[in-house]
Structure 1
Amino acid sequence: MQRFARTFRENPSLSKLLIVFTVSGGSLVAYSEATKPHESNNLGDLTEVNHQKKRVVVLGTGWAGTSFLKNLKDPSYDVQVISPRNYFAFTPLLPSVTCGTVEGRSIVEPIRNIIRKKNVDMQYCEAECIKIDAKNKKVYCRSNLNGKEEFAVDYDYLVIAIGARVNTFNIPGVEENTFFLKEVEDAQRIRRTVIDCFEKASLPYLTDEERKRILHFVIVGGGPTGVEFAAQLHDFVSEDVVRLYPKVKDFVKITLVEATDHILNMFDKRITAFAEEKFGRDGIDVKTGSMVVKVSDKEISTKDVKSGDITSTPYGMVVWSTGIGTRPVVTNFMKEIGQGQRRVLATDEWLRVEGSDTVYAIGDTATINQRKVMEDIAVIFQKADKDNSGTLTVKEFQEVLNDICERYPQVELYLKNNHISGLVDLLKEAKGDDVKESVEVDIEEFKSALSKADSQMKNLPATAQVASQQGVYLADCFNRMEKCEKDPEGPIRFRGEGRHRFRPFRYKHLGQFAPLGGEQTAAQLPGDWVSIGHSTQWLWYSVYASKQVSWRTRALVVTDWTRRFLFGRDSSQI
């Protein structure tokens, strides 16, 4: 001790350093004691503070729900996330998982990693919502753990983002004998089954007919998912199977079944034609105009739409990738709020469920019930006719045109498609070219001019792009909700007085990709720009890598692509 004392006396700076550490340590202890929750008054204060926050319950961790959570910034909310899966999955890469191009773990991000970085109080609970009680503002859930116990959660605002289920159209055998491609588990199950088919076909005691059946892969649905899976499977066969299973490679057959006349109907005709031609060259059998009527454990039966002939074909594996349906919990909720006659949950243009002011629905769960302009045409005319003259001048129409286009997107689309910039051009389109700048129109002529606008109305596609944009939009609304209560903004509502506090949701299409195999991809980008080929494949790589939800998944996906280039696809059954 004397030696230590002498050392400190001879080194004053060391003594000061010790004092600083001592004071700092005491401060840390004092701070920890001060911030430690006490059992008496502080706990009550904390409960009271949380009670003052608006309780937001988010159902689902898909594209819509995760986008909402990532963009919610207002700390005045207490958010409870409820979902049976504790991760977000980058679903556009699911077809790549089916054949080992990308690993399933590379495209998922734990939801707790996402919400822990927020300055908003967010909690996650692994459970499934089984009932929504909008009247009492409760959701009833069932835990997947602890013996499937049930519990209730209260909410001030509810965001339904649970997505949709696969629609089997009640076709016999689809549920029991086909594979879906909606979740990561589905893709991993398909991958194991594909490998199993090749391993089974390699057994020495099988006949050639049995090998042909086992290695016949049928994909039902000619949309982007079905087409991409067919392309991925073909690449796996042509690039890896020839080396891994050389004795059975010649028995492989891939059939793509589509009920309409063409595959990729939502794409430009140039892309559709290229895809069908390429699949024909690659040996993928594309059967358009064929409807599946039954699926047994070894045969799939299809009916020709034109002739009505039914054909049964042996198969080894069927992947079902066509149509989506409403989940049972949403169906029951629709009956409760008076939407029982609809096939899908309806929201207004602000993504609020019709019939329930505090419930919002985003993503594949719902569709926007776009208001028709002809339903409000009298109110629109009245608001535009500021001098109450009974007629509308060009100036009066132009002053309200922006609000009309904002409130009714179909009007803007109609004007754009017909190159119309004002009332004169609109009347020329409706009545002919003999229209002057000084024209004035009455209500009947105004109705006639806008009568074709509602024909432009279309439901938004059930895609990740739409769901993501809806999540961002709704989070922005919640971020500004308290402020906008006092300072409303937005376009004229036209149904009812006043102005709505938020602008309605507007989807901005950023383009879409269709990977076609052989390192070739088709892209339809804004401005009617179509690109097809190897260069577009590299664009696809860069876009999908940049859209990953975290740097971790981004690095994993790029690593998987690199590994596939260098070593081929992994054919293990793990």
Structure 2
Amino acid sequence: MRIFSFFDRSTRAFRFSKITLVFAVSTGGLVAYSESKPYGGSSSVDSSQVEAKKKRVVVLGTGWAGTSFFKNLDCSLYDVQVVSPLNYFAFTPLLPSVTCGTVEARSVVEPIRNIIRKKNGEIQFWEAECIKIDAANKRVHCRSNDSTIVKGKEEFLVDYDYLVIAIGAQVNTFNTPGVMEHCHFLKEIEDAQKIRRSVIDCFERASLPNLSEDERKTALHFVIVGGGPTGVEFAAELHDFFCEDLVEIYPTVKDLVKITVIQSGDHILNMFDERISSFAEQKFQRDGIDVKIGQRVISVSDKAITTKAKANGQISSVPYGMVIWSTGIRIRPVVMDFMQQIGQNNRRALATDEWLRVEGCDGIYALGDCGTIHQRKVMEDISAIFNVADEDKSGTLTVKEFQDVIDDIIVRYPQVEHYLKSRHMNDVVDLLNDSKGDERKESIELDIEGFKSALSHVDSQMKNLPATAQVASQQGVYLARCFNHMKDCEDNPEGPLRFRESGRHQFQPFRYKHFGQFAPLGGEQAAAELPGDWVSIGHSTQWLWYSVYASKQVSWRTRALVVSDWTRRFIFGRDSSRI
């Protein structure tokens, strides 16, 4: 069907006739025009009224959490606006591979506007940084990264109905002197590119004819501070880069290269199963990678790194050519300022409830590394749980009464399920009998004190979720589903019982499902910790790593590029240029 228009001679502009409005309504659209509005002319109707029925959702950040959220969001239901200083999504687990040219930087990034284009233009994106969150007035202050913008125009305001904070975190230096000035970080694509150039610079510098033997050794001493997954994977990548590629290009300095990993804890990869940690340490020892455990860095100068042994307090200083700092994360200044506004001081991240809503705020959610779920304790609600379970109000709780509400309890308080698994209990009968110290009895009854005793140790199983891409991605998908079904669940809530109130919660709370984690160790070997307490180590695990990381790419474009980079590396080796 055509849209008819006519030319108005008095205003020298095209006007749309009423048939345009009839056409839009007949097709079920939400389009509305002011009557006889000039094309390109002024209008008395504010543009925001065009989507008056839609709530505005503002997303801060284009990392794992933010991108997963708006990719899975039904954008036809909301006015979606994304603000981020980065106009791309980066597959951060492959950053260590970028540092040594195993894959190229462009192969692991997807432009945000490519992702938005697939959403039929229903998302607006601004390349800018959020500098302040004004929760009282429901707006965020943003600043453009473009230095060429006229002064006074670089800052703008964005109003919101719902705000999704997913801006991640920054590297934690623990206020160690000299770290910011002399260390490299591995958090963003730009960091990986700088490291790649610096590695080659170290080899080129060591090849100069006017350097002494000690100066060459210093230039080729690579120090990695932090024995977590990022630090260990970079050490393995660097070792492979040297042994497989650089040793033939720089034969005169092949015996001078040294890689050192400094870890403050007792083992590297201490968040993995101890079998993986032990295997990694043994492999690094065979490869000649020096692992110093129980060492804390106290300062970094332009020539040396100073450490202090935790066991005896001995201080030592080691010269270096390049230092990589990979010791953890902390919240960004804009989040810290927001936390002070809402009274969440002295926290490591924004505290949210189990539905990812920032505590004490209306319509604000925090995802990924910038937020942490404040899981409610069972013992805080123990009396309310007992009263709901005690249907006959007898003052005692039977096994059947407890079984009637156990599903809601496990969903609302996941530490209960973790406690049952840790104690190898099959069901609530085992839990109640355990509190009595009796053999298994189906007819046991408990009063309120016995019920408290049965659940007294449950809260000890509460753990914070790790700051990983896997957690952030799942949170983004979960919140998008909640937004997609928000209206449907207003009348028919699908969540667990409200033990302190009547009815049910609107949604099921967020539940993280762990799919395992990998630790590439170099030499085409990797270790994996899989669900069900499965541990896999060796060459076959490396091929599993290849398949999983290829499948998890954000688009077919990046998937093809990454696989082609791996193939190129197998055939031609890594590129040794500093580009």
Distance in 2, matches of 1:376 and 1:44, equals 51
SS in structure 2 at match of 1:446: helix
Q: What is the match of residue 125 of structure 1? A: 126
1:244 lines up with 2:249 in the alignment: yes
Amino acid of the residue matched to residue 53 of structure 2?
Q
Q: What is the match of residue 19 of structure 1? A: none
Q: What is the match of residue 254 of structure 1? A: 259
Q: What is the match of residue 515 of structure 2? A: 510
Query: How far is the alpha carbon of 1:249 from its aligned partner?
Result: 1.2
1:183 lines up with 2:184 in the alignment: no
The range that moved more, 413-422 or 284-293, is: 413-422
Q: What is the match of residue 67 of structure 1? A: 68
Of residues 269, 274, 279 in structure 2, which corresponds to 1:269? 274
Of residues 215, 219, 223 in structure 1, which corresponds to 2:224? 219
Distance in 1, matches of 2:43 and 2:514, equals 50
C-alpha distance after superposition, 1:447-467 (max 9, x if no partner):
000111111100000000000
Query: How far is the alpha carbon of 1:40 from its aligned partner?
Result: 6.3
Query: How far is the alpha carbon of 1:338 from its aligned partner?
Result: 1.3
Asked if the contact 1:394/1:422 (under 8 Å) is kept, the reply is no
Distance in 1, matches of 2:287 and 2:413, equals 45
Q: What is the match of residue 240 of structure 2? A: 235
Query: How far is the alpha carbon of 1:39 from its aligned partner?
Result: 4.5
SS in structure 1 at match of 2:132: strand
Amino acid of the residue matched to residue 520 of structure 2?
P
Distance in 2, matches of 1:147 and 1:294, equals 41
Q: What is the match of residue 576 of structure 2? A: 571
Q: What is the match of residue 419 of structure 2? A: 414
Query: How far is the alpha carbon of 1:221 from its aligned partner?
Result: 0.6
SS in structure 1 at match of 2:403: helix
Q: What is the match of residue 451 of structure 1? A: 456
Query: How far is the alpha carbon of 1:419 from its aligned partner?
Result: 2.5
Q: What is the match of residue 308 of structure 2? A: 303
1:470 lines up with 2:448 in the alignment: no
Asked if the contact 1:77/1:120 (under 8 Å) is kept, the reply is no
Q: Return structure 1 stretches of 4+ with deviation > 4 angstroms.
A: 27-37, 39-43
1:134-149 residue pairs with structure 2 within 5 A? 134-145=135-146, 146-147=149-150, 149=154
Query: How far is the alpha carbon of 1:348 from its aligned partner?
Result: 0.2
Query: How far is the alpha carbon of 1:37 from its aligned partner?
Result: 7.9
Q: What is the match of residue 549 of structure 2? A: 544
Of residues 276, 279, 286 in structure 2, which corresponds to 1:281? 286
Using the aligned pairs only, state the percent identity.
72
For this pair of structures, how many residues does the alignment match?
A: 549
Distance in 2, matches of 1:44 and 1:296, equals 62
1:377-392 residue pairs with structure 2 within 5 A? 377-392=382-397
Distance in 1, matches of 2:252 and 2:367, equals 49
Of residues 566, 570, 574 in structure 2, which corresponds to 1:561? 566
Distance in 2, matches of 1:38 and 1:117, equals 28
C-alpha distance after superposition, 1:337-383 (max 9, x if no partner):
11123232100000000010200000001100000111110100010
Amino acid of the residue matched to residue 492 of structure 2?
D
Q: What is the match of residue 91 of structure 2? A: 90
Query: How far is the alpha carbon of 1:275 from its aligned partner?
Result: 0.4
Asked if the contact 1:490/1:501 (under 8 Å) is kept, the reply is yes
Distance in 1, matches of 2:367 and 2:271, equals 22
Distance in 2, matches of 1:308 and 1:133, equals 46
Asked if the contact 1:214/1:317 (under 8 Å) is kept, the reply is yes
Asked if the contact 2:98/2:192 (under 8 Å) is kept, the reply is yes
C-alpha distance after superposition, 1:109-147 (max 9, x if no partner):
000110111147210001100100111100001111115
Of residues 405, 409, 427 in structure 2, which corresponds to 1:400? 405
Q: What is the match of residue 485 of structure 2? A: 480
Distance in 2, matches of 1:500 and 1:317, equals 53
- Which protein has the bigger helix share? 1
SS in structure 1 at match of 2:335: helix
Query: How far is the alpha carbon of 1:301 from its aligned partner?
Result: 0.5
Asked if the contact 1:73/1:119 (under 8 Å) is kept, the reply is no
Q: What is the match of residue 446 of structure 2? A: 441
Distance in 1, matches of 2:174 and 2:299, equals 11
1:54 lines up with 2:55 in the alignment: yes
Distance in 2, matches of 1:29 and 1:541, equals 56
Listed as ranges, the gaps of 5+ residues in structure 1 are: 1-23
Q: What is the match of residue 20 of structure 1? A: none
C-alpha distance after superposition, 1:287-341 (max 9, x if no partner):
0111100000010001111111011000000000011001010011011111123
Listed as ranges, the gaps of 5+ residues in structure 2 are: 7-13, 21-36
Distance in 2, matches of 1:264 and 1:180, equals 18
Distance in 1, matches of 2:46 and 2:184, equals 53
Distance in 2, matches of 1:29 and 1:539, equals 59
1:520-535 residue pairs with structure 2 within 5 A? 520-535=525-540
Asked if the contact 2:77/2:484 (under 8 Å) is kept, the reply is no
Of residues 429, 433, 451 in structure 2, which corresponds to 1:424? 429
Distance in 1, matches of 2:41 and 2:192, equals 52
Q: What is the match of residue 28 of structure 2? A: none
Q: What is the match of residue 27 of structure 2? A: none
Amino acid of the residue matched to residue 553 of structure 2?
Q
Amino acid of the residue matched to residue 403 of structure 2?
Q
Distance in 1, matches of 2:240 and 2:439, equals 61
SS in structure 1 at match of 2:252: coil
Distance in 2, matches of 1:43 and 1:331, equals 41
Amino acid of the residue matched to residue 262 of structure 1?
H
Please, what TM-score do these two structures have when normalized by structure 2?
0.92
C-alpha distance after superposition, 1:224-243 (max 9, x if no partner):
00000000000011101111
Distance in 1, matches of 2:61 and 2:523, equals 35
Asked if the contact 1:519/1:534 (under 8 Å) is kept, the reply is yes
If you compute each CA radius of gyration, which structure gives the higher value, 1 or 2? 1
Distance in 1, matches of 2:448 and 2:175, equals 48
Distance in 2, matches of 1:384 and 1:147, equals 65
C-alpha distance after superposition, 1:358-409 (max 9, x if no partner):
0000000110000011111010001000111110011100000000000000
Distance in 2, matches of 1:422 and 1:186, equals 50
Q: What is the match of residue 114 of structure 1? A: 115
C-alpha distance after superposition, 1:453-483 (max 9, x if no partner):
1111000000000000000000000000121
Query: How far is the alpha carbon of 1:43 from its aligned partner?
Result: 8.4
CA RMSD of aligned residues (A): 1.9
Q: What is the match of residue 18 of structure 1? A: none
Distance in 1, matches of 2:339 and 2:271, equals 29
Asked if the contact 1:75/1:119 (under 8 Å) is kept, the reply is no
SS in structure 1 at match of 2:255: helix
C-alpha distance after superposition, 1:195-238 (max 9, x if no partner):
00000000011000000000000001111000000000000111
Q: What is the match of residue 165 of structure 2? A: 160
Q: CA, structure 1 residues 264+399, in 2 after alignment: closer, same or farther (shift >3 Å)?
A: same
Amino acid of the residue matched to residue 378 of structure 1?
S
Distance in 1, matches of 2:461 and 2:44, equals 57
Please, what TM-score do these two structures have when normalized by structure 1?
0.93
Q: CA, structure 1 residues 357+28, in 2 after alignment: closer, same or farther (shift >3 Å)?
A: closer
